[in-house]
Structures are given as structure tokens and as C-alpha cells.
Structure 1
Amino acid sequence: MDSSKAKEPQYQSGFGNYFRSTDPRCPDALPEGQNNPQMCPYGLYAEQLSGTAFTAPRETNKRTWFYRIRPSVIHRPFAKYEHAGFPDTYTDVAPNPNQLRWKPFPIPSSDSPVDFVDGIRTICGAGEPSVRHGCAVHIYACNASMENKAFYSSDGDFLIVPQQGTLRIRTEFGDMIVEPNEICVIQLGMRFQVLVDGPSRGYILEVFDSHFQLPNLGVIGANGLANPQDFWTPVAAFEEKEETYKIVNKFQGFLFVAEQDHSPFDVVAWHGNYVPYKYALENFVVVNTVSVDHIDPSIFTVLTCPSDKPGTAIADFVIFPPRWGVAEHTFRPPYYHRNCMSEFMGLIKGNYEAKEGGFQPGGASLHSIGTPHGPDALAFEKASRADLKPERVADNTMAFMFESSLSLKVTHYGNTDCRAVDEKYYECWKPLKKYFDPNSRDVKLT
């Protein structure tokens, strides 16, 4: 991608808004009063993309009307798409309750061009997209742009977290540029194309049940965490190309491809509340303790996909951004714990405060339901001896977590094929010493 020649994307702000957008090359392309008039302005076709059932309550009903040069129904039949990583299921793999950590996932060599679609690999997941329940964690590693190719998932929403390399994402709604330390969400059914300037790598959280939303704020009040005004959705920018395009569809965990003779990004205008969007993680408003005890990581939730069980998520997207540590008389890093949730962590940049050694940008870890985890020995020693004055935490660092109430199972790729598993991860806790002294209540670390 030659970004110097690419048109700079335009955006609208807000989360959950009902947007209207028209490419300025065709003013007044949106019909007045009717979604589907007998003849649309400029001879366009009307097409609706639904994100919820037609009968969903008004406050949760998601849909967008496209006004496009040709309807998306014009394509040849779908056939199997040959892909080294799909399907890589987690249903036929033996469970593994151990703490798992991966070194940085490999990026293709420069003499082997791999685009975003061909660079996706599934690491772990749970559930089944055909019954619309569950989630999956993927990584992508690529070094080439998608040429005359588009992709969409019929299984769920994609939350994309770039770790290396800037992505220019062309969608039916318009274009977005998404850099490391930003995220974007491409919802179910939305077609998109990823253009890159060079080696690129990142993480994907796919949810099958519903859509991501902002978490409730409760006693925090009206403002805080991720604020709606800091989310951006693209403005219409159509592409009129009479060339062969491949449309790749993720359907029930398999990939299929169909060809068509025109660009799928030919939407001249659109209106609706079912949209792709991006968010800069640096805009997150941190809420933290100023008294005692490490606060629960739920306070760092950016987006959530709730389950039918109140207060429990199919998946949360949680970040650990730069902030002040001010807690008094307490052990400040994350405490040792066993959880009823699955925790998949990744690192965009820097050094995670509880694992400053082996946890590397572009790598990951998985702590499963009931599996104990917490700070490594070095982090424990350091925090236990620290002078508890106010100090900055995680400067120049951005770690994140995909947390799920589901018990995630690791795929063949995640277990062995990626060749990135850190077999010595468990050793980071081995140096933890015994400090117990039944004759002294106030033990000091020496």
C-alpha cells in the first residue's frame, strides 16, 4: 500500500449513534423519507444489512441501509477457499489446564507474500458459530495487501488489535486507518479489505453471540472508561471498479470464496446504526484505587459482549494502560488468583507489570478457568519491597486481555503448529520462596 497516494479517511464520532453518510461526489444520494423508494437517487440500489432480528427492541435493533451501484447478491457461487489455518477446530484437541504462554507469533518472510486473510490463525475458542454461541481468539500475521479481495465473517464480530504495522481497512461504509494502540470492530456480515505497508501482526477476538457494547458504569457515573465520543466510524467513499474480486466468507468456521466482476466497496451513501468503528486506546479514562488493594480488572473494560447471565460476559476486552499507582499499605500488582473466567492476554508494546521478563509484544498467554496465576517471582519480590509512594505504572506499555466466561480450548496451531509455545513458562514462579515464620507476625523480605 502506498499510503501517500491513498485518500485520507474521513470519520464521524460516537458509539451507538444513528449515522448518515454520503460520498461528496454524489450529493443528496440518500433518499428522503423512504428507505427503499421505487427508484433511488443516481440509479442506485437499496440494500439493508441487519445486525439483529427484525423484531429486536428499538433500543437494541441494529441495521444499516446501503445505497450502492450494484447489490451484493451479484456474484458467482461460493466454493471452498483453500487456507492452511481453516478449519482449525478446538473440539478435537485434548484439553490442557496448564498455564500457557506464547512467544511472539511468527511473521511471514519477505519472499513469501501473505495477506490478512491468509495470515489468520485460530489460537483458541469455545462454542459453535452455527448455534450463535461462543467466541474465538485468532492472530493475524501478514506482509502483503489484499488485492481485489474482500472478507467478511458470517459467524461473528471481529475485534482487531494491531500490534505491529498500520492497517488501512477499506469497508463498505468507507475507509479506516488503524494503528498499533488502536482497535477496530468489524461486525458480522460487513465486507472489508486490509491494506498494509509491510510486516503486520495483531490479535482478533471474534464473538458469536451478539455484538460488543460499552460496559455499564454503575457508581462511576456518566463519564469514564471508554467514552462514546472517542469512537469513530467511517464516512462513505465508494470505489467503482469493473474488475474481478474474490469475496471470502467465514461461515460456520470454514472459509468459502465467490467471484464477482465489480468492487464490493461501491456504496455511495448509507444510514444506520450497524457500523464498523475504531478507538484509540490512549483515550481510555482510567479509574483506579487510591486507598488499598489492587482493583479488579473489570474496571479496565473497554468493550463487552454480554451473555444471558447478568453481569457475565461471553467476552470482555480489557486493557492495562499507563496510570498512577497510589494504593496504600498494599501489594499493588495483580494478586495471585484462580478465576471462573478464561483470560487470554496479549501485549502491544512495552513490559507488562506482572511479567516483565518473558511476556513479549506480539506474544500471548492463556490462564484457563481454575488455573492459578499471578505475578512472577521477580514482580512479587519487587512489589513486596517497594516504597509505596505514588508512582507511574505501565508507561510506554499497553497490555490487554480477552476475558471470557467460556472455557477456551486451544487449537492444533496454538498447541504445536505455531512453534511459539513457551515450554518453560511455569518456571517463572519456581523461585517464589517460603517466608512463613510461625514465631513472627511481621515478616520482612530480605
Structure 2
Amino acid sequence: MLADGDPYRYQSGFGNHFSSEALEGALPAGQNTPQVCPYGLYAEQLSGTAFTVGRSGNQRSWLYRIRPSTMHGPVEPYSRGAHGLTGAFDARSSVATPAQIRWLPFPVPDEGSGVDFVDGMRTLGGAGDPALKNGMAVHIYAAAASMARRALSNADGDLLIVPQQGRLDIATEFGPLMVAPNEIVVIQRGMRFSVGLPDGPSRGYILEVFDGHFELPDLGPIGANGLANPRDFQTPTARYELTTTGDAWEIVSKYQGELFSARQDHSPFDVVAWHGNYAPFKYNLADFAVVGSVSFDHIDPSIFTVLTCKSAHPGTAVADFVIFPPRFEVQMHTFRPPYFHRNCMSEFMGLICGEYEAKKGGFQPGGASLHSTMAPHGPDAKTVEHAVSRALAPGRVADGTQAFMFESMFQLRLTPWAAEHTQRDRDYYKAWEAIPVTFDPARK
């Protein structure tokens, strides 16, 4: 039985201390753990950081639930057998390559296949070790069925999910979230969630960070405004599910890249009230306030950073989430597309919709590319030809398009599944073959 009311109500803000209750008075007054909680609930804390982290960085929430989350059966190896996830990125289990990599759109399973979000996840690559809380991973998902009485909890890190096709109706312990393409959702470490597919088969991308949490980037000389504004992030409000008969639920746990499961006879989404600053959230990419050059030269893509997970090294990140949204382009006397470059960071790009302004063909929605550390890359031959011959008047770029990038300080290794996938574009290097040599020492 679900609590009454509109399930999709949100609280706005990023990093706030929120409070929410589905029943009036369900939040205890004045303390977190009274001897008996209101309505006979049980208090449970979910900690996203160590207890002793300073107040400014400490993240935790208190959940007031019908049953403690300890009430489940024995934990066993994943009952459905083999899966497509890994947390191992060593030489024995993954592939290293400095080549430019591109994948055509990953296939979506047939509607009758029964493949849900858990079974539809596949690891493309990563670096580090979730057991040491160091590194990150990139996954894709391609699913055709809603998770039926199944919930997933990830002990390895935070998941930033980017839907490309089809909405995701996500039930969480904190309340429900409806997430559409051109929106993102972050489900943090340890939070139980279940993914429904209201539009049928769905596909998208996932960035996982093993160390730290996502935060808004520092604005520096940009000033107080611009990029992603805190008020545009949305966190769910409490909505509980009460089991009145013996429901059969499976709790799937991701731990060190492996999957495990446990059975229980009640819904995990039985939180009647909660408060704290550790909660899932979503963000609409259309709300991003773009900044850029209004004179000359192409500014570094860091100006398009939505969220960052900082590393211990100032100025570098475990991972940045960067977008390339519709905007005006006004630079004069300038090669306007992204310049050719080699980067000390790894760049994984995906395309939600449209045509990316620096690639005119093979980079397609639902596909991806990876330019690893110091791999040379840049606009393809068609883009170069247009860029050097066009009249430079102010105009729009990327209308109807949403490309994004997962950028990381780590060198990524590919899983064999990704390296050998039939959708890997083996001719990607040809994107630059037709760039003409126009050098003439007699012409300045």
C-alpha cells in the first residue's frame, strides 16, 4: 500500500539539509533517536562520509522507517548468474589502449526480453579499485523491463545516471524521482533504488565515482552566478510503501564490482520521514547557464562543468560531468570548433540527442567515444572544412543537441566486452584522414 498524494514532489537546492515527512509528525522533535519514534517507526542513519569529517563536508541523513533495513534473508551470490559489471581494472581483466575509441549506438533489448536496469548494465571501462575508494568507472545501461520487486544498492560509489532514451521512474528510500532524457540523476553510495520504465525500452550512460561525492564546481573569476545553479537541483519528498501481505522482494547489492542478493518479505521503500543532506537528486540540463567567449578564441570545456568529484590534487578531478548545450557562438577571427588537443585527462563522450558540432557523422545518440590520456583528438574533416571557410557571424550552435563528457584524471582501461563489442567503430581513425595539408611557406 502506497502513501496517498502526488509522488513526484521535489525540494529544491543542492547540498541543503532537507526534511520530509509523508505523515504529519513522523519526524521526531528535538532529537534523532527517541526511545520510541512517532508512529512506531525505527530510526536509521545513512552516512555518506566518515563520522569525523568536518561539518562543512559531513553528509548523512536520518531515515524513519517501518522496518529496519537489517530485516532481510542471507546474502548470496547474485541469483541470476553472470552480469555485465566489474570493479577490476588490472592487466589481467581489462584492456589498455591509447587509441581513439568510438562506439556506434549500443543496442536496446527487445521489449519481451525481461532485461531490467540491473541486468542491462555493462561496464565499459574504468580505473582504480572500489575497495580502496579510489578511481571511477563508466557504464552503459540498456533495459526493456521495469525492476519488479527488486532494488539495487551500490556500496562502491555514487552513480550519475544520464538517460538517453526513455524516462526512468526511480523509487528511492527518500521518495520517487521521474527522470527524463536531458535530465540527470545522482544516486549516492548505499541508497536503495528501483528503476521503472514508463516509456518502454530505455538506454543511457552511467558515471560512477569510488572516492568522494559530486559537488558544484568552484566558480572563481566567473563570480557568484552561472553554470548550474543550486536551486535547480531537486530532491524527492518522502513517500512510503507499506507491505500488508508477504511481498517477495530481492535486494541486489553491488560490492567491489560484484553483485549479491538477499530476499525479504517487505518493500525497502518504507521510509515515512527523513532529514539530512545525503539524498538522491536530479537536475534538468536545460537549466544550465552557459558562459563563454564574447570576443575571440575557443574557451576550455571546463566552463561547461555541471558537477565535479574532486581529487586530492587541487585542480584535478576524479571525474567531471560536462555538457555542451545549445548556445550562441560569437567569437571573431577564431577557429570556433573545439581545437585539436592532447589532454592529461581522459575524456568519455556521449550524445543524448542531435548532432555534436565537432563530429558530422559517426558520433550518434546512444553511442560514445573515448579519448584517453594524451590521445590526440579534435574536430573531424567535415567540421574543419566548414570552420575555416564559413563567414564568422554571430549565431546559434547545438540547437536540438545535447552532448556530454565524463572527464577524469585517471587513465581508463576497457573491459573486454567494450573493447571487442560489435558496435565499436574500427574506422574511427578515418574521421581525420581527409583533413587537407594547406601549409604554403610562400604564403603568410
1:409 to 410, 413, 437: 413
Q: How far, CA to CA, are the matches of 2:218 and 2:112 in structure 1? A: 48
Q: Write the letter of the residue equivalent to 1:123.
A: L
Matches within 5 A, 1:201-220: 201-220=203-222
SS of residue paired to 2:108: coil
Aligned counterparts of 1:182 and 1:173: Cα–Cα separation in 2: 19
Alignment equivalent of 2:62, drawn from 55, 58, 65: 65
Amino acid paired to 1:13: S
Alignment of 1:155-194 (within 5 A): 155-194=156-195
Quick one: which of 287, 297, 300 aligns to 1:296? Answer: 300
- The percent identity for this pair of structures is 62
Q: CA deviation at 1:412?
A: 1.1
Determine if contact 1:64/1:275 at 8 Å carries over to the other structure: yes
Candidates 330, 352, 357, aligned match of 2:356? 352
Amino acid at match of 2:434: P
CA drift at 1:113: 1.4
- 1:149 touches 1:246 (CA, 8 Å); kept in 2? yes
Q: Report whether the alignment pairs 1:30 with 2:34.
A: no
Deviation at 1:435, TM superposition (A): 0.4
Paired residue for 1:377?
381
CA contact (8 A) 1:157 1:187 kept: yes
User: Is structure 2 residue 437 aligned with structure 1 residue 440?
Assistant: no
Distance (Å, rounded) in 2 between the aligned partners of 1:385 and 1:49: 57
Alignment partner of 1:305 is 2:302: no
CA contact (8 A) 1:83 1:255 kept: no
Displacement of 1:244 after TM fit?
1.2
How do residues 7-18 of structure 1 correspond to structure 2 at under 5 angstroms?
A: 7-18=6-17
The Cα of 1:234 is off from its aligned counterpart by 0.1
Instruction: Say which SS state the counterpart of residue 111 (structure 1) adopts.
Output: helix
The CA distance in 2 between the partners of 1:189 and 1:145, in whole Å, is 21
- Normalised by the size of structure 1, how large is the TM-score? 0.96
Aligned equivalents of 2:252, 2:241: Cα separation in 1? 18
Matching of residues 382-393 of structure 1 within 5 Å: 382-393=386-397
Q: Is the 8 A contact 1:88 1:413 kept in 2?
A: no
Deviations 1:251-292 (A, max 9, x none): 011010011111000000000000000000000000010111
| TM alignment of 1:229-308, pairs within 5 A | 229-241=231-243, 242-308=246-312
1:426: which partner in 2? 429
Aligned length: 434
Say yes or no: does 1:339 pair with 2:339: no
Shift of 1:170: 0.3
What is the Cα deviation at residue 89 of structure 1?
A: 3.8
Q: Are residues 1:39 and 2:36 paired? A: yes
Q: Given the two structures, how large is their TM-score scaled by the length of structure 2?
A: 0.96
CA displacement at 1:152 relative to structure 2: 1.1
Deviation at 1:90, TM superposition (A): 3.2
Report the Cα distance in structure 2 between the residues aligned to 1:269 and 1:211, rounded to whole angstroms.
24
Would the aligned equivalents of 2:88 and 2:129 in 1 still touch at CA under 8 Å?
no
- Pairwise CA RMSD: 1.2
> Is 1:144 the equivalent of 2:145?
yes
Is the 8 Å Cα contact of residues 172 and 265 (structure 1) preserved in structure 2? yes
For structure 2, the 5+ residue unaligned runs are none
Q: Is the 8 A contact 1:88 1:412 kept in 2?
A: no
2:112 and 2:144 in contact (8 A); partners too: no
1:55 is matched with 52
Instruction: Write the mapping of 1:87-102 to structure 2, written as runs, cut at 5 A.
Output: 87=86, 89-91=88-90, 92=92, 93-102=94-103
Q: Does 1:325 align with 2:326?
A: no
Distance 1:401 1:322 in 2: 15
- Which position in structure 1 is the counterpart of 2:106? 105
CA distance in structure 1 between the partners assigned to 2:208 and 2:226 by the alignment? 25
Per-residue deviation, 1:7 = 4.8
Name the counterpart of 1:444.
none
Change (3 A) 1:6 1:259: farther
Query: Which segments of 5 or more consecutive residues in structure 1 lack a partner in the other structure?
Result: 442-446
User: 1 CA distance for matches of 2:5 and 2:273?
Assistant: 20
1:438 counterpart letter in structure 2:
P
